[in-house]
């Protein structure tokens, strides 16, 4: 069985819609329409999260610390900075700023619902992590291919661990007030990465009593956290109130899972929801259940592209399990299915493509039509 697994990975190494109705029609139909329109906005202050997506060509990133009003002539939505609104002559009512919770409701999302638009941004944040080795200058300047297609980051700190050849970066998005932690996936040309991936032993972890995890991913993360954690703490001090969003592809997705657990245990505020791509199985069923328990209120979406073979390893028969919640994309990526919110091994999703079969690495190297690996950088 394990020999077959090695052979599969050897093959892999070698193989290397927005609604047209008006925004205000949608808002008007919502029971919280008066809140969304800036009337009687609640006293609760929300952390602004994931508001870079467009809705009917309206840039909702403008909603950060703003009040949503309507142009009296054109009827178009207008975002007015809260300072300007509250200080303007004639505005007798002081309003709270429109932040992420209201914006999510405005675009039809509830709580931590899956958003393909946001996932498309995060697959690029994940892809940018490959540029630590492929285009370090472009990453630092935020001019790499993935960088140019997503929100501008500042304070970028790349990191590289030579022993495990693990790459990632930390950056700050001033628009959403979010610290981004991105992990690169497996370097197909690096034997050390493949040794990390091929290590299939379950070992105890500090996450909970009886929580056993993949030793290779666990050890790689233990090395990585010595780089990223001090940087995150420094950025939190520099930008009070900033939250942290973690992402990654392939091996990077596995490291992202560990990082979420580590940050949660250290009381670091996390974004809601978060996204990983092409992630292998990271731990046993007990750890998956504990991880899911604290992530349920946040939301984590494991995006899987059709027959991506990496999502099927290590095998269930070796004691490894996925945590929810999978988002399973078709071969063309034109359609997707939101899988079970309780079972990470939903038999109607990618599990049905369980090995053995002839693996096609192309599904692993392309997510949401974006190329991962070196293609993310140039």
Are residue 187 and residue 227 in the same domain, yes or no? yes
Asked whether the beta carbons of 28 and 375 are under 8 A apart, the reply is no
- CATH number for the domain spanning 269: value is 3.40.50.1820
Are residue 93 and residue 156 in the same domain, yes or no? no
The predicted pLDDT at position 351 comes to 80
**pLDDT band at residue 56 using 50, 70 and 90 as cut-offs:** very low
Spatial distance between the Cα atoms of 56 and 23, rounded to a whole number of angstroms: 7
Residue 256 above 70 pLDDT? Answer: yes
The predicted pLDDT at position 113 comes to 80
Taking residues 209-234, what's their average pLDDT?
A: 95
Asked whether the beta carbons of 154 and 171 are under 8 A apart, the reply is yes
Are residue 59 and residue 119 in the same domain, yes or no? no
Taking residues 123-136, what's their average pLDDT?
A: 95
Whether this prediction's pTM lies above 0.85 is answered by: no
Are residue 203 and residue 71 in the same domain, yes or no? no
Sign of the Cα pseudo-torsion (273, 278, 283, 288, in order): positive
What's the mean pLDDT when you consider all of the chain? 75
Q: Give the domain extent around 85.
A: 23-106
**pLDDT band at residue 355 using 50, 70 and 90 as cut-offs:** low
Taking residues 157-163, what's their average pLDDT?
A: 95
The predicted pLDDT at position 196 comes to 55
Q: At which residue do the structure tokens 């007798």 appear?
A: 92
Of the listed ranges 40-44, 157-161, 217-221, 254-258, the one predicted with least confidence: 40-44
Q: Is 58 helix (H, G, I), strand (E, B) or coil?
A: strand
**pLDDT band at residue 78 using 50, 70 and 90 as cut-offs:** low
Q: At which residue do the structure tokens 């090395």 appear?
A: 223
Of 366, 364, 359, 362, nearest in space to 7 by CA: 359
Spatial distance between the Cα atoms of 80 and 376, rounded to a whole number of angstroms: 35
Spatial distance between the Cα atoms of 295 and 299, rounded to a whole number of angstroms: 6
How far are the Cα atoms of 35, 36, 70 from residue 100, in angstroms, in the given order?
13, 11, 19
Q: Does 152 reside within a domain? A: yes
Q: What percentage of the chain has pLDDT greater than the value 90?
A: 47
Q: How many domains does the chain have?
A: 2
Spatial distance between the Cα atoms of 206 and 212, rounded to a whole number of angstroms: 9
Q: Tokens standing for 335? A: 């359609």
Q: Tokens standing for 12? A: 């892999």
Are residue 306 and residue 371 in the same domain, yes or no? yes
Residue 203 above 50 pLDDT? Answer: yes
> Bigger pLDDT: 283 or 39?
283
Residue 308 above 80 pLDDT? Answer: yes
């Amino acid at each position: 069985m394990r020999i077959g697994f090695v052979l599969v990975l050897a093959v892999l190494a070698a193989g290397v819609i927005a609604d047209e109705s008006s925004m205000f029609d949608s808002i008007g139909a919502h029971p919280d329409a008066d809140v969304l329109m800036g009337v009687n906005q609640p006293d609760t202050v929300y952390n602004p999260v994931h508001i870079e997506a467009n809705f009917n060509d309206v840039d909702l990133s403008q909603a950060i610390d703003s009040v949503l009003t309507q142009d009296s002539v054109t009827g178009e939505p207008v975002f007015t900075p809260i300072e300007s609104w509250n200080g303007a002559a004639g505005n007798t009512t002081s309003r709270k700023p429109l932040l992420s919770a209201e914006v999510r409701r405005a675009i039809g999302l509830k709580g931590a619902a899956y958003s393909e638009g946001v996932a498309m941004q995060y697959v690029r944040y994940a892809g940018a992590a490959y540029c630590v080795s492929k285009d370090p200058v472009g990453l630092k300047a935020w001019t790499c291919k993935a960088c140019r297609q997503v929100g501008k980051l500042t304070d970028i700190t790349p990191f590289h661990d030579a022993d495990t050849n693990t790459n990632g970066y930390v950056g700050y998005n001033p628009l959403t007030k979010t610290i981004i932690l991105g992990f690169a996936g497996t370097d197909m040309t690096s034997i050390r990465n493949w040794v990390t991936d091929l290590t299939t032993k379950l070992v105890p972890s500090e996450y909970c009593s009886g929580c056993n995890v993949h030793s290779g991913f666990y050890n790689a993360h233990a090395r990585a956290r010595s780089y990223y954690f001090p940087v995150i703490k420094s950025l939190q001090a520099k930008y009070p109130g900033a939250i942290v969003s973690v992402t990654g592809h392939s091996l990077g997705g596995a490291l992202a899972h560990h990082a979420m657990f580590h940050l949660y245990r250290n009381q670091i505020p996390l974004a809601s929801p978060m996204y990983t791509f092409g992630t292998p199985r990271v731990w046993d069923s007990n750890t998956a259940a504990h991880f899911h328990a604290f992530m349920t209120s946040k939301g984590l979406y494991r995006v899987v592209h059709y027959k991506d073979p990496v999502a099927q390893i290590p095998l269930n028969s070796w004691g490894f399990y996925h945590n929810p919640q999978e988002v399973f994309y078709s071969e063309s990526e034109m359609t997707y299915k939101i899988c079970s919110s309780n079972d990470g091994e939903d038999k109607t999703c990618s599990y049905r493509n369980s090995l053995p079969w002839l693996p096609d690495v192309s599904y692993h190297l392309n997510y949401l039509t974006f190329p991962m690996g070196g293609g993310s950088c140039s």
